[in-house]
């Protein structure tokens, strides 16, 4: 039985779903000769760790109770009364993680799983990888930090998995790495990498006002609590940057041209969320509708996409043929078209659910299982 210890950082929707997946897949993994042993779970404030790092993980009942506690917004420290564990509060918790990484990294191996949405994990990730640990990420921020940080994270590339940073559970990174390894040059990537913006653009195509569509998307749970976090395009830009860096382009976020769907005068520092939803969005309806009608007159549709061509990387609204894979996109799916020498006339198309806690957590779990060959 191959035993893989792991520490999870991030107890939000994706992190909790991952723990539930690990518990529910115990019998499947047993038949595969694999045991995922969760030795620690942390959030921005604290960390809980098993008492016996070398031999035991936090048991499944404890992990499910942890999911319940965090789902109602309570502290991990509440779990001290539930089972055998040690607890550490920030910043002591960060030192404890590195202590565990040093203890297990070269002895049994350790996977550091980052399902947070924080930039603070970059320093820990770099040090843990240097100690012989592996890293699996759903968090985009470490890979979109400085080029120096990016290079240090990939100093041992086989120890890194990050499929869920771009397309949740879709095989975007794996497919791109296979193409690069084959020597097939990538000429262009164009993709709709935001389920929220994919939904918004396909709905306004049907003639619905942008203001109504955004409010509907929020009520359906497609957007962040403040929809401007989606409409500003930064999430798509981070995903595009990761893809561009995989292709070898040494660029930073400020190198990417980003089109926001709202002006600075409607930004979070100027308008409240309520004002934006009830008043600001109405002022944007006409411009988007005019653009939709102009595209339609050309036989095209509008999609919010990232475009990577050579060293050029931009994010924003593009007119695309209605019968193209991106033009046929409906709802919240992600679609990516990859053009290479081999895929020149007909691009490689990757399409499917590119968002959601369940899908993203499944992608993270697949990455953890995929890394098992590095463990004794």
Q: Binding site membership for NADP(+): which residues?
A: 10-15
Tokens of 216: 């509907």
Greatest CA separation for the chain: 67
Distances (CA, A) of 317 to 70, 72, 172, 261, 301: 37, 38, 21, 9, 10
CA-based end-to-end distance of the chain: 10
Task: Please state the separation of Cα 49 from the chain's center in Å.
Answer: 25
Tokens of 364: 């993270």
Q: Could you check whether the bond before residue 91 is cis, i.e. omega within 30 degrees of 0? A: yes
Alpha-carbon Rg for the chain, nearest whole angstrom, is: 22
Please say whether the beta carbons of 256 and 240 come within 8 A. Answer: yes
Please say whether the beta carbons of 172 and 186 come within 8 A. Answer: no
Eight-class DSSP state of 157: G
- Closest by Cα among 336, 333, 334, 325 to 189: 336
Distances (CA, A) of 20 to 60, 240, 341, 362: 9, 30, 42, 10
Distances (CA, A) of 355 to 196, 256, 277, 308: 9, 23, 23, 21
Distances (CA, A) of 53 to 50, 152, 286: 6, 27, 60
Binding-site positions read 10-15, 140, 224
Binding-site positions for NADPH read 140
Catalytic residue among 84, 126, 239, 294: 239
Catalytic annotation on 107?
no
Tell me how many helices (H) and strands (E) the chain has.
15, 13
Eight-class DSSP state of 279: I
Burial (CB < 10 A; 0-12, 13-18, 19+), residue 376, is exposed
Strand ordering across the sheet containing 34-42:
85-89, 46-50, 34-42, 2-9, 111-114, 134-137, 160-161
Q: Which residues carry out catalysis?
A: 239
């Amino acid at each position: 039985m191959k035993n893989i210890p792991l520490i999870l950082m991030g107890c939000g929707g994706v992190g909790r779903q991952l723990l539930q997946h690990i518990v529910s897949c115990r019998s499947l993994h047993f038949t595969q000769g694999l045991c995922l042993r969760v030795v620690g779970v942390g959030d921005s404030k604290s960390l809980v760790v098993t008492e016996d790092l070398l031999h035991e993980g936090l048991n499944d009942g404890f992990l499910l109770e942890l999911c319940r506690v965090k789902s109602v917004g309570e502290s991990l420290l509440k779990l001290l009364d539930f089972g055998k564990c040690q607890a550490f509060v920030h910043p002591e918790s960060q030192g404890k993680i590195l202590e565990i990484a040093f203890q297990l990294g070269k002895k049994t191996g350790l996977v550091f799983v980052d399902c947070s949405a924080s930039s603070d994990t970059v320093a820990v990730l770099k040090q843990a990888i240097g100690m012989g640990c592996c890293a699996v990420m759903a968090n985009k921020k470490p890979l979109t930090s400085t080029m120096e940080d990016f290079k240090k994270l990939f100093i041992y590339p086989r120890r890194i998995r990050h499929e869920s940073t771009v397309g949740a559970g879709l095989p975007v990174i794996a497919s791109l790495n296979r193409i690069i390894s084959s020597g097939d040059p990538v000429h262009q990537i164009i993709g709709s990498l935001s389920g929220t913006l994919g939904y918004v653009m396909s709905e306004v195509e049907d003639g619905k006002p942008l203001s109504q569509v955004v409010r509907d998307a929020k009520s359906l749970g497609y957007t962040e609590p403040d929809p401007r976090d989606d409409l500003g395009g930064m999430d798509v830009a981070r995903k595009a940057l990761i893809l561009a860096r995989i292709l070898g382009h040494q660029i930073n976020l400020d190198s990417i041209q980003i089109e926001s769907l709202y002006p600075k005068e409607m930004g979070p520092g100027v308008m409240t969320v309520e004002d934006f939803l009830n008043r600001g969005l109405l002022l944007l309806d006409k411009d988007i509708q005019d653009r939709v009608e102009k595209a339609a007159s050309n036989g095209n549709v509008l999609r919010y996409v990232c475009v990577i061509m050579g060293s050029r990387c931009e994010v924003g609204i593009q007119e695309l043929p209605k019968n193209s894979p991106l033009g046929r996109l409906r709802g919240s799916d992600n679609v990516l078209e990859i053009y290479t020498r081999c895929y020149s006339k007909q691009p490689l198309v990757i399409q499917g659910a590119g968002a959601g806690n369940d899908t993203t957590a499944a992608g993270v779990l697949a990455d953890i299982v995929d890394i098992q060959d590095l463990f004794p």
